[in-house]
Amino acid sequence: MMNQVVLVGRVVSLPVVNEEGRRATLKIAVQRNYKNADGIYETDFIDCVLWNDLMNSAVEYLKVGDIIGIKGRLQSDEGATKVISEKVTFLSAKSSNERSDD
């Protein structure tokens, strides 16, 4: 059996680090590859969990709107399904003139 998923999407929320500082969660938006009955591409918002070094890189470099690739596995806990990330690839960042000052 195999449990593997690869996603490419935009960062919707910055990584939130847990109390122990070993794990972070973030949400990415992944657009579906087909249009609905109204002719609109729908988007799924997916929670991803990052551990240790992946978490450190994400916290340091990711901004809302960046496009990333995530390779990992699905895990269900308490009725919620999340992606447990094994590899994160930084594909593109918003250009500096598209970024807003936070």
**C-alpha distances in Å from residue 33, one per residue of 52, 58, 71:** 32, 26, 19
Answer whether residue 89 is part of any domain.
Answer: no
Q: List, in sequence order, every residue forming a beta bridge with 6; answer none if it has no partner.
A: 71
For residue range 37-88, list pLDDT tens digits in order.
999 999 999 999 999 888 988 989 999 999 999 999 999 988 889 999 999 9
24: enclosing H helix or E strand: strand 23-35
Short-list 80, 53, 83, 79, CA closest to 69: 83
pLDDT of residue 18: 82
| pTM confidence score | 0.80
Number of structural domains in the chain:
1
Q: With respect to residue 93, please indicate whether it lies within any of the assigned structural domains.
A: no
pLDDT band at 22 (very low <50, low <70, confident <90, very high): confident
For residue 58, give its domain range.
Answer: 5-33+41-81
| Residue 48 maps to a domain | yes
Residue 27 lies in a domain: yes
Q: Assign residue 25 the CATH number of its domain.
A: 2.40.50.140
Identify the three-state secondary structure at position 53.
Answer: helix
Is residue 22 situated within a structural domain? yes
